[in-house]
Every structure is written in structure tokens, then in C-alpha cells.
Amino acid sequence: MTERALEIDTELTKLARTLEVDPDEVEFLGHLELDQVRDLRWRITDVLNGADARRLAGVIAASKLLPPALVATIGEKWFGPVLCARLVGHVEPKRGGQYARHLSVGFMADITARTDPRVVGDLIHELGLKTMQRIAAALLERGDHLTLSHFVGHLPPEVVTAILEAIDDNAAVVRIARYVEDLDHLDPVVALLPDDRIVDLVRSVDSDDLWVDGLHLFSHLGDDQITRIATTIIRQDSAAVISALEALERHQLWAQGLQLVDHLDPADLVTFADVLLDVDLAVVDHPVIDAAVDAIDTNDAWHILVDIALAVDALADDVRARLGQLVDRLPKAQVARFEAAAREVGHDGLLGRVLQRGG
């Protein structure tokens, strides 16, 4: 799935949720631009939220005359989650927090799934961390990753991180990130995750083949966190690195994958080169390597292969020789582009040294 296809599919899923229909029923809108689908969703949401605003305001005014416990009981037993979700935007935050203390977790999860996150405002701060964690757990049990994504962007990063601590399903965390409205909110959250959680996330991406969602998340992070993710991937065992490369080819995600490689420091680039050129693994003859080189060519990223060539000086002679074999079998046009990239960074003789190793 391409980046655009993923983003359109995500937007259509959100639109289907807004309309409370099956995603298949809005697939015919897939030809539209991403911004058009998003704008349509928000317009529909605004219309739904604006309907009967006067009557809803009257209900809120009347509720102030009753004890919070009684209002909560009426809401859960008689109004139901759809109407209560419509009322959320009209409730005073402190009053809403009082109602929440008398609502069941399941019902609050039902309301959350139907609430426009833009109208929540300060109400969400009145719920308390433990309540939000319980709501998150209930939504996770239902597999409702879309609603869980609403927490991100409407809460401080440290609170989001605390909620994620209650979610021990790392694959679910990646699926949640896919639906986050503004992906810029993800970087400060990831920055607060401990290193062992990052390792677990990377392993889940690989074991559950979530590379499409995972790389969509990783590619929207800042440089520091992209470097952290890239380093974590490369420092897995050789089989995991090869599995990642195979996933890039399977899902045609080379552009995002090369972005990760581009963030490796020289020491980790040596590790990466060691895996690619390991004599015992014979990965250099693996079709995925040819695909990787083609991706480097397509994305004009020959500097990456130049960096790898410079890194292999730290490796054994037989491993370095395999890079020469790889470059030697490239089409002349690609060899010329490799040479030009080396020359651009002041390594005019690099091609000759590489080919000499291959011989």
C-alpha cells in the first residue's frame, strides 16, 4: 500500500465512523484528494454537532437542577451514548467530570467513540488519569484504534504516554498512531517512551507485518526520533534486519526505509553493511538487494550507497569484497551515478577502490 493509499484509506475509515456506516460504503470517494475527504468529514461533523443546538443547550440547563449522580443515571439508562456524545460539547468541564464519576467505564467508552474530539476541550482534563486509562483499556478490548487515537493531540504528551503504559499491546499502539489527526503530535509522545518500549514496538511491527503503519508513523517523527527508531531496527539480529528489508520490498516502502537508513550514524551503518554483505548470509545475492539499489536510484539517494561503501572499510576483507561484486554488476548508468555521488562528497577514487575489492 502506497503512502497516499494508506492516508486515503485512513480518512475514509474516519468518514465511515462519522456517518456510522461500513467503510465499504464510502470507498467510492477514494478518487478524491486527501484534503477533500478530510474537509467533507469535518463539514458533516459540524452539521451533526450543530443540529438541535438550542434544544441540547436546554437539556444542559435543566441538568444543572439535578444531582450529578441522577443526571448520569438518566444519561446512561435513558439518553444513550449517541445523545450524550452530542451533549459533551455543551457541558461545563467541571460538571462533566462530576457526571463521569457516576458513569460505567463501558458507557464512557461508548460516548468517547461518538464524540468529536474538537469539542471536548478542558473536559478531558477533569476525567483523571485512571479513568482515561480504563476507558482506553475498554476501547482496546473492542479493537477501536480509531477512537483511541483521539487522546493524542488533546492531551499533554506525558499524559498520553501514561495512558499508553496501560496498553501492553504494542501492535495496537502502532495501529492507534495511524489514525492520529495531526501526526506532528506523535514526536513528543515517542520521545517520552523508554528505550525498551521502542524495541518492543519495532519487534511488533515486524512480527505482525505492520510495516505500512509503522513506517507511516516513523516517517512523521522528528530527526532525533527517526534516528532512534532506525538505530533500534539495525541493532536487532540479522534475521530481523533482513525481514525488514523484505517487508520494504513487499509493501513498496523503499522511500520511507531509505529515510531510516539515512539517519544511521557511521557505527550503525557499519552494522547495517555487515548484515547486507555477510558472506554466510549471502544477502548480497538476494533479490531484495537489487530492489534496494533500484530504490536508491529511483529516489536519487546514491549518497546512502556511498556512505555504506565508506563504512565497509571497518569490515573484514571478504565482506568488503562483496560490496565490490555488488557494484560491479550494476548497470553502467547506475555505476556512473554512484561515482558522481562519491565525487560530490570528495571521494573521487571511491569507485575504483570498491571495484578493486570486488576483483
pLDDT tens-place string over residues 127-165:
888 999 999 999 999 999 999 998 888 888 998 998 888
* HSE toward the beta carbon, residue 204, CA cutoff 13 A: 16
Rg (CA), the chain: 26
- At 282 the pLDDT is 53
- At 355 the pLDDT is 80
Distances (CA, A) of 117 to 14, 18, 63, 81, 91: 12, 12, 22, 15, 14
- At 356 the pLDDT is 79
Q: Are 63 and 71 in contact (CB under 8 A)?
A: yes
> Taking CA 161 as the corner, what is the angle to CA 233 and CA 91, rounded to the nearest 5 degrees?
145
Q: Which residues of the chain have pLDDT under 50?
A: none
Domain boundaries, the chain: 265-359
- At 358 the pLDDT is 59
For the residues of 75-86, what is the DSSP string, one character each? Answer: IIIIIHHHHHHH
Measured CA to CA, the distance from residue 14 to residue 20 in angstroms comes to 10
Whose cell is 550503525? That residue is 268
- At 40 the pLDDT is 94
Largest CA distance in the chain: 89
State CA 63 to chain mean position distance: 41
Q: What is the pTM of this model?
A: 0.83
In 3D, which of 249, 208, 199 has the Cα closest to residue 229? 199
- At 120 the pLDDT is 83
Label residues 164-193 b or e (16+ Cβ within 10 Å = b).
Answer: beebeebbbbbbbbbbbeebebbbbbbeeb
Label residues 252-263 b or e (16+ Cβ within 10 Å = b).
Answer: ebbbbbbbbbbb
State CA 162 to chain mean position distance: 18
